[in-house]
Chain A
């Protein structure tokens, strides 16, 4: 392998750090400090950090609603709230978690920060559009929260008609909030696609792109193609609810199932928007912590595109018991089988990457292991759901709830946490406490299992979703689930606490504490505003650990320059 001349041209060696390896002239203080400089920033790194703060607050809010749900379900009858309140709480849990956290978290947070750096670029293609995306996110969130403050809505985040078009609750602001956030999502996706196509540094061919980029790219394609459809659909529901223009109202000749088709045409690809970025992170983490190239680069890269493409044709598996014909059911069932294969490809390739690697069990790696197990189990239960006759029993029960939480929390949130721990040193220049990290990871994995495995069993027993009260025979498993959720919540709170501590008081991490060979570790920690002094030149792909590489000097060999 050729040693990369990127080290000479990258300019990272020319930046001067202090005696601990902390780069003082970083993006957090340049070009200026103060609120105004952040509000008007065009720096993708600052925008990424703002998104991370925003989605973390959203996650806490959605998590708060989740704890209320589990609290209410602690007893079969009323526990702490009445039925209408409970219905609003679970709806808002879904809306906040999906639109305010899951969709933007990794792409708009970590994607914004690292996509340009990994491409050797100075920023995204359209920085002002990027800032606009951020403000649209805030605006959409504000509109939705306004709706929540006035009681919110009780339709479930799926807004099925005709219930959603006839309910008197505040469904219109929640819909409009989601509509506006949809545009934030579209513009971010558009930005990333153009950046990836046009701003790659010299030598960075498509075949050398970090797998994180491939995942974010595939996500962006879904974002720009699917989100307009749901935007229009939500607008139609809002118009029908507010003005009575009955497109979906059967009393006026409309077809309520048509709404389901439109809604799931977006919302099924949307779940791939939620998982692909997490998979993208994991591809980086597994390579960094086994010091090994990915086992099948092309397979992992192209399977991301495969998921994006085939994922558009599987929406009907949400409508198996809605009165569709069996032919429809069969077609969508088969297509869903195919989309599961792409995930299987990734799982096997990630596992095989460890072969002949040099594996370190750090906190990010712990989240990788959790991610993998939950993805396999959650993903296969998804394929199981697509096996038609089984879905007739499981549809709209807690089995489905457990399945999608396995993927969304077990996989995506683990991916988010892996990203957070892997990249905290790069973003802030400081390191978190590894001891607390592992403790929290264990709590989260165990708590997660105790929360959602009982829910698979509840689904088998026949407990439907969105039930405020339930027959006594479901009691024990619900208590177990709530207990698990408490442990999970505590683990997450611990992560929050030590992360905040690390940001303020953590030990200086230095440029590359993991000795990873992902491209982003070529820059100082935290990175300078311009990312690179001169565009780096790439001669090979990321995560190659076969020989010495001057761009990634071994820690004990190349101390950072000490003078300031």
Chain B
């Protein structure tokens, strides 16, 4: 039944359980819409036939509606619409609540390509490889204008905004290759900004990632199936972050050993509750860390001077992402000297 309706309505394949649930709502909505439209149309046809004009000067009775009529006219559609909402809204909320063990992928849209990066590496252009049956959280931003990451097979879409991170998540349950489109007009290359989501069986994915991280060179001819599978070397975000931090002089004010300096220490900073100068408290999540780099004066931690310069325009989004990943890796219990192997991330329930 699902398959019949899916084909009848020209819907793409359903690559996740979420897609199947959304489609179920879709069928309900479309069927009731068609029934309503047909109903109104048939009523008109019936009335036209039954009450067709006999003479140019026909008289008609003055018909008063009863209260019941108008009440039905209001209540029936309202109940239907609110029912649609009651089913659709929880589904929508689900999209903003990635599970705690979701694997993170940083997505950057720019004219006119998609860049994907895993925190532990590697990164790629236009092709996103994910394991089947594992939740994946997407942290999306844009380098220039607004783009929108759209995967029809997952019924998933989220705008990529410059200067900000948006998030969404999915759990693909079927290996396959699925289209990625840009869904927000962004210039001449808008319709060429195509990508591909490659869902791999879990074991195959883990092998692939391990292999990518081992190799320092560009992927060999055997690995790269298509030019779109190019993988950039040294894709380990945490390593990059450490490098950027020392290049940009962050270490002049922020320590990585827990000691208080000109700025707050980075150890255990991620997800720490910080008290701000204006009395409010904030959780130091990815958004806060990014904002602190872009506009340090906006949410200043209490007890520190407003002397941090802004890095707006000085850091590219991948560098920002790398710094955030580096900060996240600095935990007292999890002090590592080497690159991390897919650490556990806490999800951000809001936004």
**Interface residue ranges, A against B (CB under 8 Å):** 1, 83-84, 87, 154-156, 160-163, 166-167, 250-251, 253, 256-257, 290-293, 295-296, 299, 320-323, 325-326, 329-330, 333-334, 337-338, 340-341, 344-345, 347-349, 351-352, 354-361, 369, 372-373, 376-377, 380-381, 383-384, 386-390, 392-393, 395-397, 457-458, 460-462, 464-471, 477, 515, 544-547, 554-556
Contact = CB atoms under 8 A, between A and B. Distances in A.
A330 B89 CA distance: 7
Interface string B167-204: 00000000000010111111111111010000000000
Nearest to B10: A457
- Which of B12, B33, B37, B312 gathers the greatest number of chain A CB atoms within 10 Å? B37
Given A83-B191, A351-B40, A326 B185 contact: no
Contacts of A462: 12, 150, 152-153, 179, 181
Given A163-B146, A392-B156, A457-B10, A87 B58 contact: no
Interface stretch (B22-30, B270-278, B333-341): B22-30
A296 B61 contact: no
Contacts, number: 289
Interface of B: 9-12, 22, 25-26, 29-30, 32-34, 36-37, 40-41, 43-44, 47-48, 51-63, 65, 69-70, 73-74, 77-78, 81-82, 84-85, 87-89, 91-93, 95-96, 144-146, 148, 150, 152-153, 155-159, 161-164, 166, 179, 181-192, 194, 294-295, 312-313, 350-351
19 contacts: A163-B185, A291-B59, A293-B60, A321-B148, A325-B351, A333-B85, A337-B81, A349-B73, A351-B40, A351-B44, A356-B51, A372-B41, A372-B44, A387-B25, A388-B91, A389-B95, A393-B155, A467-B190, A468-B191
A469 B181 CA distance: 12
A546 B89 contact: no
Question: Which DSSP category, helix, strand, loop or mixed, fits chain B's interface?
Answer: mixed
Contact of A345 (B10, B70, B189): B70
B188 A341 contact: no
A242 B85 CA distance: 43
A376 B42 CA distance: 13
A196 to B, nearest CB: 24
Given A253-B312, A376-B40, A348 B146 contact: no
A160 B161 CA distance: 11
Contacts of B150: 396-397, 462, 464
B145 A163 contact: yes
Q: Give 9 nearest A-B pairs by CB, closest first.
A: A462-B152, A250-B163, A389-B91, A358-B58, A387-B88, A388-B92, A354-B47, A467-B191, A344-B77
A216 B159 CA distance: 37
B51 to A, nearest CB: 5
B44 A155 contact: no
